[in-house]
Chains A and B, each alone.
Chain A
Amino acid sequence: MAAIELQGLAHSYAAHPSTDADWALRELDLRWREGGAYALLGPSGCGKTTLLNIISGLLHPSRGKVFFDGRDVTPCEPRERNIAQVFQFPVVYDTMSVYDNLAFPLRNRGVRREEVDARVRAVAGALGLQSSLDNRARGLTADAKQKISLGRGLVRTDVAAILFDEPLTVIDPHLKWRLRSELKALHQKHGFTMIYVTHDQTEALTFADEVVVMNEGRVVQIGTPAQLFDRPQHVFVGHFIGSPGMNLLPAERGPDSELRIEGRRVPLLDRAQPLPTAPGSGGASQTAGSMRAAGALKDAAAGSLQIGVRPEHVRFADVGLPVQLDRMVDAGHVRILDLLHGAHRIKMVVPEEQVLPPATELRIAFDPHYTHVYADGWLVS
C-alpha cells in the first residue's frame, strides 16, 4: 500500500516532440492517498492508459517524477515498484494450469509454498475459480481468462497499488456488475490503493471514491462522483458525465452586464421555493436572477461564454425561456425531452408520471444552484 504522487509528469511517444499534439500526456500533478479507490475516466486516446503505464513503471515518462510514499521511483522497473496491473485483454500463460497462473507472481518473488497455496485459494474463491484450479488455462472462455488475469493482480497482498486498465471490457454485462462489486469488497477488506482506468462513467462512478477525468492528455477535473455531477469544472466533464450530458447554451453579456441567451435573460427558478414537480408550480424570478457567478464574471476574461445546466435541473415554469417540444424518449423511469429554443437544443429529464404543459405554452427555467457559467470552456467561480 502506498500513497502515489506525480510531479510535473508529461509523456510523448515521439522522440522529439515539437507540437502540442505530440504529447500523449501534458504536464500534470496528482496526489493519491494510501488505500484510496480512484478511477481515471476519459474517452479513448485521452492518455489514461499512458498514465497508468507510467505509474506501474512499464513506461518511463519523458518528464516529471513518480513518488511512492515519498520515495522517488521514476527510474524503477515494475518489479521494484511492487505493483500489480490488470490489462484490458486477458493475459494467461497457456501452458500452465489455472492454479500455476495465479501462483506465478508469488513464486517469482520466492514466497513460501504454504503461503502461495493459501493466497491462490483465497483469490480463486473470491473470483469463483475454485472448481477449475487444476485445468489448463488455455481453452477457457474470455471471461474465465480475464478472471485469471484479475486473480494474478489480486494475489499479492503486499503490493503498493493495483492498477486496472479497463479490466471488464471482455466480460459479460451481468458478470461485470458482480466482479465490480467483488473488487470493491476486496478493496474495503484489504485497503489496497486501487486505480481503475475506464471510459465508462457508470463503472468509474460506482467504483471510485474519487474520479480523475482526463481529456486530450490533460486532467480536466478531480472530484467525487457528486462533485463531477453537480459542479463540472469544464464543459467536457459536463458533457462526458451524465446521460444525457449537460446542456450548453452560448451566452453573451447584456448592457447591464447580466448574462443573456439570445437576448433573453437566463431564466432561473426562485430558490426560495421548493423544487417543483408539477408544471408551472415554480415561479421564475428573473429579477432575482443575478446569477451567483455573474459578479465574478465581470472580472473574468470575456472569452466565449456558455451557460451549462444538466437536463435534471431544467424545470417547466410560468415565466421562462419559451421552447418547442421536438422529441420525447421514454427511458423507463424517466422521459427525456428534446426542446428547441430557436436553433438551440435543450434536453430535459422529467419523471415519467409528470403531465406536460400544453405544447403551445412550454416555458422552462433552470435551477440556479446547478446552473453554471463557463468562459472558454472552464467554470467561472
Chain B
Amino acid sequence: MDTRTTNPKAWRLVLPVVILVAFNAVIPLMAVVNYSVQETFGNNEFFFEGVKWFREVMTSTRFRDALQRQILFTATILAIEIPLGVAIALAMPHRGWGVSVCLVLMAMPLLIPWNVVGAIWNIFALPEIGLLGKSLNALGWDYNYTRQPMAAWFTLVAMDVWHWTSLVVLLCYAALTAIPQAYYQAARIDGASRWSVFWRIQLPKMKRVLIIAILLRFMDSFMIYTEAIVLTGGGPGNATTLLSIDLVKIALGQFDLGPAAAMSLIYFLIILLFSWLFYAYMTKDDRA
C-alpha cells in the first residue's frame, strides 16, 4: 500500500538551497559560458562569436604547451605520491606511542597554508641562502631553480610531494587499520608471503580510499596555482607555467575574457571527464 502523501507546496522547502546554489555556482558558471561565446571591445558591448574562442584556444600552441606541462606535472606527482604514500602507511606503527607521533608528523604539512608552503620552498631552495639550494650546490649539483627549467621542475615536484603525500598516507593508514586481524592471521595460517598479504589483502582493502586519494590528488594538482605561483611564478620563462597560471595571465593579466572563458570551460571539462572515467572504471566491479 502506498502511504506517501503528496503536498505540492513541499518543493518550496528546497527553494533556499536552489537560490543559494544558483547565486554562487550556476550563475557565475553561466557567466563564464556567456563570455566564452562573445567578443567585447569595452563599453560593456558584446557581440556573439559562436565557437571562435574555443577554436582559438584549441589550436593555440600556448594552450597546448600549458596543458602538456600540466599533464606531465600531474602524472609525475601521482606516480610519486601514491606509491610513496602507500609505502609510508604500511611502514607506520599500529600501536604504542609511535602512532600519535607519526600521525602528527604526517598531518603537519597539510595544516600549512598553501602560499606559506610556496614561500617556505621559495627560500628553502634558494641557491645562495636556502638550506636545500646551498646543500645541493655543496654536493656538486649546479642547482638554481630561478634560472634552470629542470631545477624549477624538480623543486616544484619536491614541494608537492612534501605537501601532499601525507594525505595519501593518512587515507591509506585509515584503511589499513580497518582490516580485521583475522585476515592477517588467516594469511599466516595459509602460508602467504609478505607480497601475497599486500597484494591479496591490503591492496584490495585499500582500493576504495586509493580511488579517492587519486581523484583528490588529480583534481588538486591539475588546478595547482598558489604554491607554484609563489615558488616560481611560472618561470623560468614559461617552464613551469601550468594551466591555471596561464589562465590567470590571460583572464586578469591581459583581460581577454573570451579566450579565458573558453579555456576555463575546456579546463573544467577535462577534469570532469577524467574524474568520471577514472571513477567509473575503478568501480565497475562493484556494480556488477
Interface residues of B (CB under 8 A from A): 180, 182-183, 185-186, 188-193, 196, 200-201, 204-205, 285
Given B189, B196, B200, B205, which contacts A56 in the complex, CB threshold below 8 Å? B189
A: contact size bracket = 20 to 34
- A169 CB to closest chain B CB (Å) equals 12
Evaluate contact between A84 and B204: CB separation under 8 angstroms.
no
User: Would you list 10 pairs from A and B whose C-beta atoms are within 8 A, ordered by A residue?
Assistant: A56-B189, A78-B188, A84-B189, A91-B183, A91-B185, A104-B190, A105-B189, A105-B191, A108-B191, A136-B285
Given B186, B192, B201, B204, which contacts A149 in the complex, CB threshold below 8 Å? B186
Evaluate contact between A93 and B189: CB separation under 8 angstroms.
no
Evaluate contact between B188 and A87: CB separation under 8 angstroms.
no
Complex Cα gap A176–B204 (Å) = 30
Q: Which residue of B lies closest to A94 (CB)?
A: B204
Complex Cα gap A85–B204 (Å) = 23
Q: Does A118 contact B (CB under 8 A)?
A: no
Evaluate contact between A91 and B186: CB separation under 8 angstroms.
yes
* Cβ–Cβ < 8 Å partners of B180 in chain A: 89, 91
* Cβ–Cβ < 8 Å partners of A79 in chain B: 188, 191
Interface residues of A (CB under 8 A from B): 53, 56-58, 77-79, 83-85, 87-89, 91, 93-96, 104-105, 108-109, 136, 149, 152-153
Complex Cα gap A89–B182 (Å) = 8
* Cβ–Cβ < 8 Å partners of A89 in chain B: 180, 182
* Cβ–Cβ < 8 Å partners of A84 in chain B: 189
Per DSSP, chain B at the interface is helix
- B149 CB to closest chain A CB (Å) equals 42
* Cβ–Cβ < 8 Å partners of A109 in chain B: 191
Complex Cα gap A78–B186 (Å) = 10
Evaluate contact between A108 and B183: CB separation under 8 angstroms.
no
Q: Which residue of A lies closest to B199 (CB)?
A: A95
* Cβ–Cβ < 8 Å partners of A94 in chain B: 204-205
Contacts A88-B182, A91-B180, A94-B204 aside, 9 further interface pairs with beta carbons under 8 A come to A57-B188, A78-B189, A79-B191, A85-B186, A87-B186, A108-B191, A108-B196, A152-B190, A153-B189
Q: Which residue of A lies closest to B196 (CB)?
A: A108
A58-B196 contact given A87-B182, A93-B201, A95-B204, CB 8 Å threshold: no
* Cβ–Cβ < 8 Å partners of B191 in chain A: 78-79, 105, 108-109
Given A85, A88, A95, which contacts B189 in the complex, CB threshold below 8 Å? A85
* Cβ–Cβ < 8 Å partners of A85 in chain B: 185-186, 189
Complex Cα gap A104–B188 (Å) = 12
Evaluate contact between B190 and A108: CB separation under 8 angstroms.
yes
- A193 CB to closest chain B CB (Å) equals 15
Residue among B180, B186, B205, B285 with the highest chain A CB neighbour number at 10 A: B186
Evaluate contact between B204 and A83: CB separation under 8 angstroms.
no
- A339 CB to closest chain B CB (Å) equals 46
Complex Cα gap A91–B185 (Å) = 10
Complex Cα gap A79–B188 (Å) = 7
Complex Cα gap A88–B192 (Å) = 20
